[in-house]
Amino acid sequence: MDLFDYSTYLVEQKLLTARYTLIIKNEKGQELGKAVSKFLSFRGKIEFTDNQGRKVGSVEGKISARPTFKIIDQNQKHIATIKEKILTIRDDWWVENLEGEKMLVVKGDVLGLEYKIEDKSGLVVAEVSKKFWAIRDHFGVKIKYDFDPFLILSIVVAIGFQKQREDSAVASAS
């Protein structure tokens, strides 16, 4: 099976690496692929590769007033945009289609890796949780209703990358 053929994923965040790196596994712990940031990428480009090393999509940061990431499929086609509201007390992330219409929203504790992704009608299409597995530096992603795994994993990767970038900025300012 391919990287995006599953509905449940175990994601391992590699710590103490020069680049943002997530190892994507199935429920049995078998590695399916990776999401790795390009080295010294100013805007933030994260590439998905399958377990044969083939590029199967990417998330590309854009320079703008708010954190914004384009989701690019394996055919280099822009399929959606992830955005974060700025100047807010709580995290507020959403996904827009190419027409700029909000199609998904992220609700919950993004920092604690306990959040849900809902469609515009409020239906939960995915859950992200550290509670699914009791392994340090791992979290689970459960996708419901045959929703697009690439889109969901792209959201998770973009949010994680932005949070790591913000944490690094705070640490270097201290």
pLDDT of residue 1: 80
The CATH code of domain 8-173 reads 3.20.90.10
For residue 104, the cross-strand partners are: 95, 119
pLDDT tens track for 87-133: 666 668 999 999 999 999 999 888 788 899 999 999 999 999 987 55
What is the residue-averaged pLDDT of the chain? 87
For residues 35 and 157, the answer to whether their CB atoms sit within 8 Å is: yes
pLDDT tens track for 38-84: 876 567 899 999 999 999 999 999 867 788 999 999 999 999 999 99
